[in-house]
Amino acid sequence: MCHEPTEAEMMQSLDHIIANFEGVEGALIPVLQSAQNLFGYLPESVLKHISTSMKIPYSEVTGVVSFYSWFSTVPRGKNIIRVCLGTACYVRGGKDVLKALQDQLGIQVGGTTGDREFSLEVGRCFGACGLAPVVMINDDVHQRVKPSKLREILSSYQKAGEEVHS
Amino acid sequence: MKISKITSVNQLTEIRDLEREKRDQEQNKLHVCVCGGGGCIASGSLSLKESLEHKIAESGIDVSVKLTGCLGPCSKGPVLRINPEAVIYENVHEEDIDRIVSEHLIKGRIVDSLTWKNVSDGLSFASQPDIPFFKEQTPIVLRNCGNIDPANIYDYIGHDGYQGLAMALKGMKPLCVIDEVTQSGLRGRGGGGFPTGKKWEFTALEKSEVKYVLCNADEGDPGAFMDRSVLEGDPHSLIEGMIIAGYAIGSSQGYVYVRVEYPLAVERLNLAISQAREAGLLGKDILGSGFDFDLGIRMGSGAFVCGEETALINSIEGKRGEPRPRPPFPAQKGLWGKPTLLNNVETYANIAPIIQRGAAWYGTYGSEKSKGTKVFALAGSINNSGLVEIPIGTPLGEVIYDIGDGMKEGKHFKAAQIGGPSGGCIPREYLNVPLDYDTLKELGAIIGSGGLIVMDEDTCMVDMARFFLEFVQEESCGKCVPCRVGTKRMLEILNRICEGDGEEGDIEKLIELGRQIQQTALCGLGQTAPNPVLSTIRHFRNEYVEHIRDKHCRAGVCPDLVRAPCQSACPAGVDIPGFISLTGEKRYAEALKLHRERNPFAAVCARVCFHTCEEKCRRSTIDEPVSVRGVKRFLVDQEITVQLPEVRENAEYAKRKIAIIGAGPAGLSCAYFLARLGYKPKIFEAEDRAGGLLVQAIPAYRLPRETLFREIRMIEGLGVDIETGKRLGRDFSCDDLKAQGFEAVFLATGAAGSVSLGLPGEEGPGVVQSLPFLQQYNIRGSVPVGRQIVVVGGGNAAVDAARTAIRLGAEEVTLVYRRSRSEMPAYDEEIEAALSEGVILKDLTQPVEIIRDSEGNLKGLKCSPVELGDFDKSGRRRPQVNRKKTLIIETDQLIIAAGQRLDQQLIDEQKLELGMNNFVFTDPVNCRTSRDRVFAGGDVTTGPSSVVEAIAGGEKGAAAIHQFFTGEDNVFWREDKIIETSYDPDSDPAPYHREQIQMIDAQRRKNNFDEVEQPWHEAVAIRQSKRCLRCDYGKVCQHQEVNK
């Protein structure tokens, strides 16, 4: 089992990042990007820490975070599910697949399950229109997905995760 | 890699020469370039490279393998090239590695099965310079992509890298550099197209100690990826361009703003910057010139608006990426309030070659007002998708058909969308337009960043506009009201239209809102956001009208308007999944009844319909479409007693007097539907037999007469009276009918006038029009037939005439058509059948003279070969006759099938106005002509069209007459029926392949008029019907399609 850094250690790393940008103009966004890579998301505590350390008003920090879609203030799941709602998938039932996923996971688009296994997002087009409807989980493309097959697909990811942990 | 500092121009040149020498020595040595572009990596080129290296090492041969930038043809990936012969292998998989090594690398034999193949014509090419995709391109920006290793600065230097910078620093004043750029005519490649030299000049003229050079690499347009290709495949060309810009405007610091979604680009650019720094090409005193310049990378964080220059500047400053009002322009007050020059990646990549080779050289490419080249990202329904660089001003058609290898699956080009969410579309009438800034602007599109999405007829233009608007609406930063609220309102209207709740006036509202947003939004994103909508309205207004008025989506895309794409594509709206699934359960009587709900001629259409339903069938995304016509052909043969659908007797309606003129498919179907409502219409038919072209023109070997008469008798059985031998204009007029007390007239006289070739000698013995020729045989039972026959034309009438002539004993029948075979309007299976019966096809041949002897007897037809030129308004290549060459086809009978037109005199006599198409004008909603109580439908209004469209025209006419009498605008058969058949939506598609319809052998069939096609056995038909994917499952359309 690998050593997971404690919160204090991660905060220390964050201070290193901030120190590296000392005196650099416009450093807020690069710092936020590094922070998100470090923590996986941007919790309030991190944002407040960045605000005080960099002497940037908290309102400005959250203003920037909420503007860019890449930043997330909620924890994201281990597995990111992206349902394609490009034209081809839309017509071939991508919407039904999305609804079934929302029902099964009990989350909306942009949400993450309580156990942090899955986050649900929508995509525009993954260029696999002949295989519609398509769902992308992490980097795997699942083709011709039917609502009834979702359970099976999802469980393969949960299992894979458990094996790694055990 | 060890890199030492280069301190002078001479040293740089020495290194270049050394690299060149090394290259020359190894020129004849085998080496492999593996494409490392984003597309090929996604299809597995990295592991391919590893396996290849492994295999080469195992074999003990001396062959180097290099990972290069994008080669271009992404859809063919993974792609690799083997030098020195520049052999391109496409779609290479792990299992091909052994063969490539053992055959090509060891034995020197090209592996034919892996070489490039054109999809359109099947031609294969081995060497890169021969392949049309590459041959037609002019790489300036992509000069090194696919040739050099992007991770090796010496490879770049060896390809004249940093020579442009050297020239600028050594002998040019900054103003001279700017002048050269201005002279070159280079315009911004990011979208706006602003002259680059001007922009440089403005920034250079600003007095400031500190200035910045920025590069916009936030390539956010869905469908554009050329900047990524440069960043990943040739990052030094960007760096060199930026250093030169810094020198020109007097700046010593630059930033590249790259989107976070391009991790590989960031990695390669980072590496390139650090290598350039080590080599002294970035930093202090570059090449000993005393000029300092350095570069940094800033990453975007997923905001499309940051592609706008002022928003990008805000983002680099660490703020929300909202645009600022201009002026002041970035050239005056940009990054941190200092004068700032901002160009995109592609623009900078052009700079070094311009400086090195001169503005005059650059100006030899491109058009009058737009110089140089542009990279386009080809995608969509096109065989070769990928990156192409072409001189500006290249016609769109050439890009699609020559470089792009034509449309996917032989579909028809509908439009190209250029410029992404800020751009517009170009329909097929404009395939000849040169792709340059000004021409595209006139058409309502823009070159933009160069995303070029090719669309076929399966794309709904309204849905497409909505798709882009949804995108900009989501990406709108919200700072200004026009963009934030205006695009929202537009999207709401578009959603409504697509969902079938569009209202009259919606199109005008969209235009008004769109114009306001264009004029009042703060930044480029908002100002261009309405473009996709306005441009589709401009070129495809009809599709909007159909969505709003008819609740019909012709592409079969909008889910709320389309129950199943096949049904939506059927002009008559037959419930195809319904009758197919009933057939699959052997419930034949119900299936036929269901068919006749919308189309009385089940048995006729099983033989002669052009089945657009199959073109839209979704099964074709898996293998091939369901054979709807094959299943139907089996089904109609199972009919023992005629299956009648619901008829609602109505004593009141039965008293109304309705006259129908013409007993063709349109008139008969109008009568059929009126009879089902309880009316008792009367049909007047000019010929001795009812059936129109079905009986007069279509030969019996395609449509046995008993089959046709049985369905006509069925219609008569509903209380329809047909009086034959009554010709409009000869025996009666519309006024007469009125005088006789008819309350409504439905005109369905077809388009019986023939179009002549316009050649001298056409009047005279031996020359006959196809329709009278077929009519005479089909009605009278005999027609004079020559020995050597030439038929001119490419439609079904031409093929029918040719095949009839063969059957009547002609020794030689030649079909002459001026375009290519693939463009013949006749059904492909008919052409195929004609050829196998011995008909000779001479396509690309234009008749120029009819040759007669001194007594006036027909001797031959002089023809000239045709070459295909540019594109005409129908999107087909224009036939260009080469009159210098001629050939004479000997003939004693010439049958002309050049098309049908209206019998003008007849229509003038009846005082009917014509529409835009030169056929009888009718109101598209209520089928009324310009005369009171006279309705019309079928070929007389549409021009020559298909049987099923005539049937649909008749149905529409019946509904219109009913509405005229009663005010009710609903007819009962248009409601979708719920069909109870078993279907498991979770089951896998039935694994059967599409079965062909069998035909009697050509030798046995060519001497008689027996039906050629043979029905399937029951087991085959049932299996074939199970192939249906049941797109209709669980869907009842809320919106009744009112008319189509």
B704 within 8 A of B1015, measured Cβ to Cβ: no
Task: Give the gap in angstroms from C-alpha B543 to the nearest C-alpha of chain A.
Answer: 17
Q: What is the pLDDT of residue B698?
A: 93
Q: What is the pLDDT of residue A129?
A: 45
Cα–Cα distance measured from residue B744 to residue B740, given in angstroms and rounded to the nearest whole number: 11
Q: Where in chain B is the domain with CATH 3.40.50.11540?
A: 160-363
Q: What is the pLDDT of residue A164?
A: 43
Share above pLDDT 90 across residues of chain B, in percent, rounded to a whole number: 65
To 5 degrees, how large is the angle CA B631–CA B632–CA B637? 105
Cβ distance B318 to A28 less than 8 Å, yes or no, reads yes
Cross-chain CB nearest to B301 (options A29, A60, A87): A29
Q: What is the pLDDT of residues A105-117, one digit of tens each?
A: 999 988 889 888 9
B569 within 8 A of B561, measured Cβ to Cβ: no
Q: What is the pLDDT of residues B318-358, one digit of tens each?
A: 999 999 998 999 999 999 999 999 999 999 999 999 999 99
Task: Give the gap in angstroms from C-alpha B319 to the nearest C-alpha of chain A.
Answer: 6
Cα–Cα distance measured from residue B823 to residue B449, given in angstroms and rounded to the nearest whole number: 34
Q: What is the pLDDT of residues B981-1003, one digit of tens each?
A: 888 877 778 889 999 988 888 88
Which DSSP string do the residues of B714-779 spell out, in sequence order? HHHHTT-EEE-S--BTTTB-HHHHHHTT-SEEEE-----EEPP---TT-SSTTEEEHHHHHHIIII
Task: Give residue B84's pLDDT band: very low, low, confident or very high (50, 70, 90).
Answer: confident
- The most confident of the ranges B202-206, B427-431, B895-899 is B202-206
B220 within 8 A of B228, measured Cβ to Cβ: no
Q: What is the pLDDT of residues B434-468, one digit of tens each?
A: 999 988 888 888 888 888 888 888 889 999 899 88
- The most confident of the ranges B235-239, B374-378, B697-701 is B235-239
Residues of chain B with Cβ-Cβ distance to A71 below 8 Å are 301
Strands (E), B12-155: 31-35, 64-68, 80-83, 87-89, 116-117, 124-125
Task: Give the gap in angstroms from C-alpha A133 to the nearest C-alpha of chain B.
Answer: 11
**If you search the block for the tokens 């491109």, which residue do you land on?**
B366
pTM value is 0.86
CB pairs under 8 A between A and B: 65
- Give the residue ranges of DSSP H helices in B899-1041: 904-909, 939-942, 947-966, 1002-1005, 1018-1025
Q: Measuring CA to CA, which residue among B665, B684, B701 is closest to residue B778? A: B701
Q: What is the pLDDT of residues B470-505, one digit of tens each?
A: 888 888 998 999 999 999 999 999 999 999 999 999
Q: What is the pLDDT of residue B1038?
A: 46
Residues of chain B with Cβ-Cβ distance to A33 below 8 Å are 260, 299, 301
Name the closest residue on chain B to residue A31, using Cα atoms.
Answer: B318
Q: Residue A91 above 70 pLDDT? A: no
> Count of residues for chain B?
1044
Domain segments of chain A: what residues?
7-67, 79-165
Residues of chain A with Cβ-Cβ distance to B477 below 8 Å are 67
Cross-chain CB nearest to B317 (options A26, A71, A95): A26
Cα–Cα distance measured from residue B223 to residue B237, given in angstroms and rounded to the nearest whole number: 23
Q: Where in chain B is the domain with CATH 3.40.30.10?
A: 15-132
Q: According to CATH, what is the number of the domain B651-752+902-974?
A: 3.50.50.60
Q: According to CATH, what is the number of the domain B373-550?
A: 3.10.20.600
* Residues of B within an 8 Å Cβ radius of A: 222, 260, 298-303, 315-322, 336, 459, 463-464, 467, 471, 477, 557, 559, 618, 621, 985-986
Q: Residue B1012 above 60 pLDDT? A: yes
Tokens of B631: 């299943």
Q: Quickly name the fold that domain A79-165 has.
A: Glutaredoxin (3.40.30)
Share above pLDDT 70 across residues of chain A, in percent, rounded to a whole number: 80
As a whole number, mean pLDDT of residues B664-682 equals 96
* Residue of B301, B616, B1030 to mutate when probing chain A, most A C-beta within 10 A: B301
Q: What is the pLDDT of residue A1?
A: 45
As a whole number, mean pLDDT of residues B257-277 equals 90
**If you search the block for the tokens 């005439």, which residue do you land on?**
B801
Q: What is the pLDDT of residues A131-146, one digit of tens each?
A: 557 788 876 667 678 8
Strands (E), B238-348: 253-258, 294-299, 340-344
What average pLDDT does chain A have? 82
Cα–Cα distance measured from residue B672 to residue B223, given in angstroms and rounded to the nearest whole number: 50
Task: Give the gap in angstroms from C-alpha B317 to the nearest C-alpha of chain A.
Answer: 4
Cross-chain CB nearest to A67 (options B303, B464, B557): B303
Q: At A164, is the secondary structure helix, strand, or coil?
A: helix
Q: Is B671 left (phi over 0), alpha (psi -120 to 50) or beta?
A: alpha
Cβ distance B319 to A64 less than 8 Å, yes or no, reads yes
Q: What is the pLDDT of residues B604-634, one digit of tens each?
A: 999 999 889 999 898 887 789 999 999 999 9
Cβ distance A68 to B303 less than 8 Å, yes or no, reads yes
Q: Measuring CA to CA, which residue among B66, B89, B85 is closest to residue B27? A: B85
Cβ distance B222 to A124 less than 8 Å, yes or no, reads yes
Which residues pair with residue B815 across a beta bridge? B791, B841
Q: What is the pLDDT of residue B737?
A: 94
The superfamily (CATH) of domain B15-132 is Glutaredoxin (3.40.30.10)
As a whole number, mean pLDDT of residues B877-881 equals 85
* Residue of A66, A70, A144, A150 to mutate when probing chain B, most B C-beta within 10 A: A70
Task: Give residue A165's pLDDT band: very low, low, confident or very high (50, 70, 90).
Answer: very low
Cβ distance B299 to A33 less than 8 Å, yes or no, reads yes
ipTM of the complex: 0.80
**If you search the block for the tokens 């949960």, which residue do you land on?**
A158
Q: Residue A2 above 80 pLDDT? A: no
Q: Residue B25 above 90 pLDDT? A: no
Cross-chain CB nearest to A87 (options B302, B557, B985): B557
Q: Which residue has the higher pLDDT, B903 or B938?
A: B938
Q: Measuring CA to CA, which residue among B348, B538, B547 is closest to residue B445? A: B538
Hey, which CATH number is domain B160-363, 3.30.450.20, 1.20.120.50, 3.40.50.11540, 3.60.10.10? Answer: 3.40.50.11540
Task: Give the gap in angstroms from C-alpha A102 to the nearest C-alpha of chain B.
Answer: 19
Q: According to CATH, what is the number of the domain B761-898?
A: 3.50.50.60
Cα–Cα distance measured from residue B488 to residue B483, given in angstroms and rounded to the nearest whole number: 8
* Residue of B75, B264, B314, B320 to mutate when probing chain A, most A C-beta within 10 A: B320
Q: According to CATH, what is the number of the domain B563-645+1005-1039?
A: 1.10.1060.10
Share above pLDDT 70 across residues of chain B, in percent, rounded to a whole number: 99
Task: Give residue A160's pLDDT band: very low, low, confident or very high (50, 70, 90).
Answer: low
Q: Where in chain B is the domain with CATH 3.50.50.60?
A: 651-752+902-974, 761-898
Residues of chain A with Cβ-Cβ distance to B336 below 8 Å are 25-26
Q: Where in chain B is the domain with CATH 1.10.1060.10?
A: 563-645+1005-1039
What average pLDDT does chain B have? 91
